[in-house]
Amino acid sequence: MKKFVRYLLMVIATILLVVIGYVSYVFLSYSRAEDNLPLTVTGQGTEEILPNNPYIIATYNIGYAAYSPDYSFFMDGGKYSRGFSEAAIKENLTGIIDTTKEINPDFAFFQEVDEQATRSYGVNQVDALERSFADYSSIYGENYRSAYLFYPVTEPIGQSKSGLVTISKGKITESTRYSLPIETNFNKFFDLDRAFTVSDVPVANGRTLTLINVHLSAYTKDPKIQKAQIKKLSEAMSRSYQAGNYVIVGGDYNHALLEDSETVFKNSEQSFSWNQPFPKDELPEGFSIPETGLAEAAIPSVRNLDEDYQKGRTFVTLIDGFIVSNNISVKEISVLDKGFQYSDHNPVQLTFELTEGSAK
């Protein structure tokens, strides 16, 4: 009996040492990517950008090419943490690239693009996008990198290095990554780091088109963090606008962009951290969110991942879109109904013109 108790204590002590060692590894390896970080521009985008000329810009959260319609995610109450297979990741990524080529945008924003991650079997999605759009200027801004996260235990999500890709037919002359405020408690290991990138494209009239690619936090428990993120983003928007630039912000805001989304999408009223109403009254002066026709079309840009996608039953809403400065004339905005075929998001596209009027 004594021998058994001794053995049991040794097993417990070993488990405790492993747990303490792992927790120490996660905490000690944690670091945030640098704020105000200059980014490298690649690609061959050289098209002259003209005022009073129609252009198309798209935004597409690709969900690291894992979220096909039959996929559900463990952090939303679903089953899985990784893509189904390397082949499935590559197949979805091909579909995402083909969809973007069908849109034929002059500019595009992508979010949740894995550079190197366990969850996407090491497929370098940044490289795939850059090669597929080699005739565009391209930048990659790291959103986060994480240590090997051993949850869920049955299929750990593992290590992740993921971020934001922006492409432009016009030449990107400068690009910078800015860190967003995040929670500093243990929740930072679940929602991870957040950032936005600011890229400048010269316009033929001597001014600049500023492209801001953003992905706000989804799982933060603290509304003060959401408010602080929007405040920092707004400051960057306003700074560029006051310098006389045209400004387009695009991405995944993890806020509902339409009034009365429950009615528009015929959802039961559900409250998730990522579908709270976007605080439009906190936008800086001179900016607005284009939404004409979106409520009438009622095409969602995102689905919940608690189950495989079932049209008419799965919770859907619109959290992806654009914010534009008032020196930009919006012609049309629409969500492309791809049936969440390659991602848990549908792409959103905006047709616009840069006006000759003053930015102020």
More confident residue, 86 or 15: 86
Token pair, residue 107, equals 């500019």
pLDDT of residue 215: 95
d(C-alpha 62, C-alpha 128), whole Å? 13
Tell me what the mean pLDDT of segment 315-341 comes to: 97
pLDDT of residue 29: 47
Kindly tell me if the per-residue pLDDT of 187 is higher than 90.
Answer: no
C-beta of residue 195 within 8 angstroms of C-beta of residue 216: no
More confident residue, 172 or 221: 172
C-beta of residue 103 within 8 angstroms of C-beta of residue 349: yes
Q: Quick one: which of 331, 320, 152 has its CA closest to 250?
A: 320
* Domain locations along the chain: 1-30, 31-354
Binned at pLDDT 50, 70 and 90, residue 360 comes out as very low
pLDDT of residue 185: 56
Which helix (H) or strand (E) segment holds residue 238: the answer is helix 223-242
List, for residues 125-136, the tens digit of each pLDDT value.
Answer: 999 999 999 999
User: Which of the residue ranges 106-115, 137-146, 254-263 has the most confident prediction, judged by mean pLDDT?
Assistant: 106-115
Domain 31-354 = CATH 3.40.630.30? no
pLDDT of residue 28: 46
Kindly tell me if the per-residue pLDDT of 191 is higher than 60.
Answer: no
Q: What is the CB neighbour count within 10 angstroms for residue 121?
A: 19
Interacting residues of 99 by C-beta distance below 8 A, sequence separation 6+ = 60, 336, 338, 342, 347
Tell me what the mean pLDDT of segment 308-329 comes to: 96
More confident residue, 140 or 21: 140
pLDDT of residue 194: 87
Tell me what the mean pLDDT of segment 18-42 comes to: 67
pLDDT of residue 188: 47
C-beta of residue 274 within 8 angstroms of C-beta of residue 320: no
Residue 124's identity, in one-letter code, is: N
